[in-house]
Amino acid sequence: MNALDAELRALFRFVSERTILPRWKRLAASEIEEKAQDDLVTIADRETEAFLTEALTRLAPDVPVVGEEAAHADPAVLAALSGACWIVDPIDGTHNYAHGRAPFGIMVALADGGEAVAGWIYDPLNNRLCSARRGEGAFVDGERIAARATGEDPPVAAISTIFLDAARREAVNAHVAPHFRVVETPRCAAEQYPRLALGQNDVSFFERTLAWDHAAGALWLNEAGGRVARPDGSAYRVDEPDRTGMIGAASPALWDRLAGLYARL
């Protein structure tokens, strides 16, 4: 594990033990807010983002931090996504966390020119760190890994229709679901990306593709030898906040299989 990975892991573990885990299953109703329908934020999200913003600014004073909660409070923060920036999701899977369930995690990426160049996904409950640098491979706890499929036939598809309208939900059920063994997503990109690389799921698609949810995971899965891209095959960019739709898969062949079906939606 390189020095930056080790330093970030220490930061993630510290804030998890100080802020996130002590409040898990112990949040008061007054410590949970609904930002939008089915979109929650907790006091732990806000405190974790504040801590990581300060810590990352100390590491790189000239690199702005784009945090999920900061961007919600002031959308002008998103302008930094086109240049060099840190991208922070303080608790990915907040819906799970707020309801006292797992999984949830911390996601941080370093981007430049609209593309992620490094990414980290931390699981506080298992002290697992997934990390990647562009062109250097993907790692779990410092060990290089290669994405592997489940080997099941039909392949396993993790599909959520939460953010789909009724027509697209019906189309997914008619044109995609029959070709896979469909399982629920964990409602947590910090867990879904590892499942795609570590032999638990074969394919998944994401309707919402906000930078804090996907910058680290998309880079990590691509570096592991899987594939993450827009349904038309174009690369994911962090500076396209209004664009929707993305497919992730344990291999390029599995990606092609789902993309062909997705095109019919």
Instruction: Please report where in the chains the tokens 């086109």 appear, as a residue.
Output: 82
**What SS3 state is found at 229?**
strand
**Which whole number is the average pLDDT over 220-249?**
96
User: What percentage of residues in the chain have a pLDDT greater than 70?
Assistant: 100
Task: Tell me the torsion sign for CA atoms 22, 208, 206, 34.
Answer: positive
**How many CA atoms lie within 13 Å of 180's alpha carbon, on the beta-carbon side?**
28
Check: CB of residue 212 under 8 Å from CB of residue 87: yes
Task: Name residue 262's amino acid.
Answer: Y
**What SS3 state is found at 82?**
helix
Higher pLDDT, 241 or 172: 241
Q: What is the pLDDT of residue 48?
A: 98
Q: What is the pLDDT of residue 171?
A: 79
Which residues pair with residue 133 across a beta bridge? 118
Q: How many residues does the chain have?
A: 265
What digits encode the pLDDT tens for the residues 101-158?
999 999 999 999 999 999 999 999 999 999 999 999 999 999 999 999 999 999 999 9
What digits encode the pLDDT tens for the residues 22-74?
999 999 999 999 998 778 999 999 999 999 999 999 999 999 999 999 999 99
Q: What is the pLDDT of residue 98?
A: 97
Q: Enumerate residues 6+ apart whose C-beta is below 8 A from 212.
A: 66, 67, 68, 71, 87, 88, 89, 92, 107
Angle CA 69–198–185, to nearest 5: 50
Check: CB of residue 157 under 8 Å from CB of residue 182: yes
Torsion angle of the four alpha carbons 164, 168, 170, 172, in this order, in degrees rounded to the nearest 10: -90
Binding residues: 68, 89, 91-92, 213
Q: What is the pLDDT of residue 173?
A: 80
Give Cα separations from 42 to 56, 141, 227 (angstroms).
21, 28, 32
pTM of the model: 0.95
Check: CB of residue 222 under 8 Å from CB of residue 137: no
The pLDDT mean for the chain works out to 95
Q: What is the pLDDT of residue 258?
A: 95
Check: CB of residue 213 under 8 Å from CB of residue 107: yes
Binding residues for Mg(2+): 68, 89, 91-92, 213
**Which whole number is the average pLDDT over 201-212?**
95
What digits encode the pLDDT tens for the residues 82-93?
999 999 999 999
Q: What is the pLDDT of residue 175?
A: 82
163: pLDDT strictly greater than 90 = no
Task: Tell me the torsion sign for CA atoms 248, 111, 59, 94.
Answer: negative
Check: CB of residue 54 under 8 Å from CB of residue 60: no
User: What percentage of residues in the chain have a pLDDT greater than 90?
Assistant: 87
Q: Enumerate residues 6+ apart whose C-beta is below 8 A from 118.
A: 4, 109, 110, 131, 132, 133, 134, 219
Q: Which domains does the chain have, with CATH numbers?
A: 3-145 (3.30.540.10), 156-262 (3.40.190.80)
Rounded to the nearest angstrom, the gap between the alpha carbon of residue 147 and the centroid of all alpha carbons in its chain is 16
